[in-house]
Amino acid sequence: MLMRWLAVAGLVFLVGIGAWLGLPEAKKSISEDNQAIPFTLPNLKGTLHGLPEGEVVLLNFWATWCPPCRKEMPSMSALHRKYAKKGLKIIAVSVDRDINDLSAFVREYKLPFQVLHDIDSSISHDYGVFRYPETFLIDRHGKVSYHLVGAVEWMSEPIIKGIEKMLNEPKAAKNEAKKSGVEKPDANKSAGQQAG
């Protein structure tokens, strides 16, 4: 009898190991100093939006069913009110399944920043997010400066200092010609105006 149980236990163990080895490799989380991954997602009206280029971006992954996510929204709204005119773009990417729950939450909390809907969590997975909330602060060059896991008090002094430092960095050049100091001639000017 004991031999049967050991054989069954051994078989279950081998099947479990085989199943585990057959699982696809988990995506690695985007970490600090990595380039942010561009994406396109719909807002609550279905209009597609992407990750802004050349801007300081707070990219937050969250859900309405997540208590820590709900907790940080008021301070994120305050951060938006303080820094939106100075160039901070806040993009809150929700992984909620039900757009009605999401829309009701946005109305209730009067979220003033852009809310996008990642219904199948594909962008969340691309960023390696599996805990909510998770936030990526992205600099003007598209590089992740900070990766924060869990609810954040967005108006705290260390966060404010980090964001102000990022906002004070020079804007990224729009193209390689500007980076090299050579400007392309204006196509609207005549040849005589360009020469003079």
Could you list the residue range(s) of the whole structural domain that residue 122 is in?
55-171
116 within a domain of the structure (yes/no) = yes
User: How many residues in the chain?
Assistant: 196
For tokens 């997540």, the residue is 66
91 within a domain of the structure (yes/no) = yes
Q: Judging by beta carbons within 10 Å of its beta carbon (0-12, 13-18, 19+), is residue 133 exposed, middle or buried?
A: buried
The pTM (predicted TM-score) of the whole model is: 0.74
120 within a domain of the structure (yes/no) = yes
Question: How many domains does the chain fold into?
Answer: 1
> How far is CA 148 from its chain centroid?
11
13 within a domain of the structure (yes/no) = no
186 within a domain of the structure (yes/no) = no
34 within a domain of the structure (yes/no) = no
Domain containing 140 — which CATH number? 3.40.30.10
By C-alpha distance, which of 59, 151, 43, 60 is closest to 103? Answer: 43
List average pLDDT for each run of 10 residues in the chain, which is 196 residues long. Answer: 61 47 49 89 96 95 96 96 96 96 95 96 93 95 94 96 93 49 38 37
Q: What pLDDT is stored for residue 196 in this prediction?
A: 36
Q: What pLDDT is stored for residue 31 in this prediction?
A: 73
By C-alpha distance, which of 147, 130, 169 is closest to 58? Answer: 147
189 within a domain of the structure (yes/no) = no
190 within a domain of the structure (yes/no) = no
